[in-house]
Amino acid sequence: MPKLLVTGGGGFIGSHAAEYFANKGYSVRVVDNLSRELLLGKPDASTRFNWDLLAARGDIELIRGDVRDEALVERVTSDVDVIIHAAAQTAVTTSVSDPRPDFTTNLVGTFNVLEGARRSGRRPVVVYCSTNKVYGENVNRVGIVEKEQRYCFEEKFSAGIPESFDIDLCEHTPYGCSKLGGDLYVQDYARLYGLRTAVFRMSCIYGTRQFGVEDQGWVAWFAIATITGRPLTIYGDGKQVRDVLWVEDVIRAYDAFIESDLAHDVFNLGGGPSFTLSLLELIDLLAERTGRRPKPAYADWRPSDQKVYVSDIRSVRERLAWSPRISPGEGVNRLVAWVEEHRSRFEKPAV
C-alpha cells in the first residue's frame, strides 16, 4: 500500500486530497496546524470541520503540526511515497499586512518539505500547490476588452496565460513572492537532486467544504454571503474574471501526474477559457439558484488584483490527458446545496 502525506490536509484542498487518495487505497497521513484561526483572527468552529471529517473515517493518520518545524517535517516525510504540499498562508491581504508568517510558512515550510523528501530513502514524488499569483502584476499588462459584465483578454491570449508567461519586473505582493519562491525551489530540487516533482499553478479553486472569507475563497464567500444575508463588498467594478475549477477536478490532475511517467513539470491549472466567471456573473448565478440577490458595496481595487486571469491549460490537457469536468453552473449548484445544508455554521450568532 503506497503511503501519501498531505501537508495542510485539514484545509480545503488538502482534505479533499486526503479523502480522494484514502478512497483509492493509499495509506494517508495528514499534517496541519489548523492556522485558519490565525487568518480569521479568532477561534472558529469551521477550522475543525475538515479535520473532524477526516478523523471520523478512522483510516487517515492525523498529526497536528507545522511545516515550519524542521524536525517534524523530516520525520513525517521519511517513510512516504508521495507528498502533496498544500500547507500555506493563503490570503493575499494577510500577506500584505503581516508578511513574516507568509514568508516562513510558504517559503521556509516548502524548503523543509523538499529537504525531507531529499533526505528520505524513499525519494517521494512531490506535488506542490502553487498559484497564478506567481505572474503578479504582469497579467494586468495584457490587453483586455471590456464587455457589459466582464473583462476578457485580447485575442493574443484567448487561450489564457501560459506557463512561460513573464514573472519579472512587476509587483507580486508578499504572498505571490513566497509562493513563487517555493515554486522555483521545487523545480530546482527536481533538476539538482533528481526528485520527481510537479508544480501546479492554480487558478480559482472552489467546492464543498470551503469556508470562504472575504480575503480568500471568493466563490464560496459569495455563496455564503448570499445565503446568509451577510454584507458583501466588491473591490473594483465586479467585471474581473477568473477561470474556476472544481476541487475534485484539481485532485484528479494531481493523481494523473503521480500515475504518469513524467519526471517533473510545471502546469497552469484552472478551468481554462471555457470555465470562467466574473464577479457580476456569479451574483447572477447565485440569484438564480437561491432566489436571493445580494446588493454589494463597492470599494477600491486591492493591491495587484488581476482584472482577468484565465489559465492556458493546453499543457496539462496534453501531457496528463486531463480536462475539467464540472462546469461553473454545476459547481455553483453543488456549492449552494452544501452551504444550505451547513447553513448554521455560517450564521452569525444572535446578539
- pLDDT value of residue 114: 98
Average pLDDT for residues 106-118, to the nearest whole number? 98
Identify the band that residue 43 occupies on the pLDDT scale cut at 50, 70 and 90: low
> Within a domain: residue 174?
yes
Cα–Cα distance measured from residue 28 to residue 170, given in angstroms and rounded to the nearest whole number: 39
> Within a domain: residue 288?
yes
> Within a domain: residue 350?
no
C-alpha cell at 179: 509562493
Of residues 203 and 345, the one with the higher pLDDT is 203
Catalytic site positions: 175
Cα–Cα distance measured from residue 210 to residue 220, given in angstroms and rounded to the nearest whole number: 6
- pLDDT value of residue 216: 85
Whether the Cβ atoms of residue 85 and residue 128 lie closer than 8 Å to each other? yes
Of residues 21 and 40, the one with the higher pLDDT is 21
Average pLDDT for residues 70-82, to the nearest whole number? 98
- What is the tens place of the pLDDT at every residue in 221-237? 999 999 999 999 999 99
Q: Is the pLDDT of residue 336 over 60?
A: yes
> Within a domain: residue 249?
yes
Domain harbouring 164, CATH code: 3.40.50.720
> Within a domain: residue 144?
yes
Q: Is the pLDDT of residue 156 over 50?
A: yes
Query: Beta 241-246 vs 276-278: how paired, if at all?
Result: antiparallel
pTM of the predicted structure, to 2 decimals? 0.95
- pLDDT value of residue 351: 39
Identify the band that residue 46 occupies on the pLDDT scale cut at 50, 70 and 90: low
- pLDDT value of residue 165: 98
Average pLDDT for residues 249-275, to the nearest whole number? 98
- The DSSP letter of residue 238 is S
User: How many structural domains does the chain have?
Assistant: 1
> Within a domain: residue 351?
no
Is residue 168 classed as helix, strand or coil in its secondary structure?
Answer: coil
Mean pLDDT of the chain: 94
Average pLDDT for residues 343-349, to the nearest whole number? 80
Q: Is the pLDDT of residue 37 over 90?
A: no
> With the C-alpha atoms ordered 129, 134, 136, 139, is the resulting torsion angle positive or negative?
negative
Of residues 72 and 47, the one with the higher pLDDT is 72
- pLDDT value of residue 253: 98
Domain hosting 301: range is 3-345
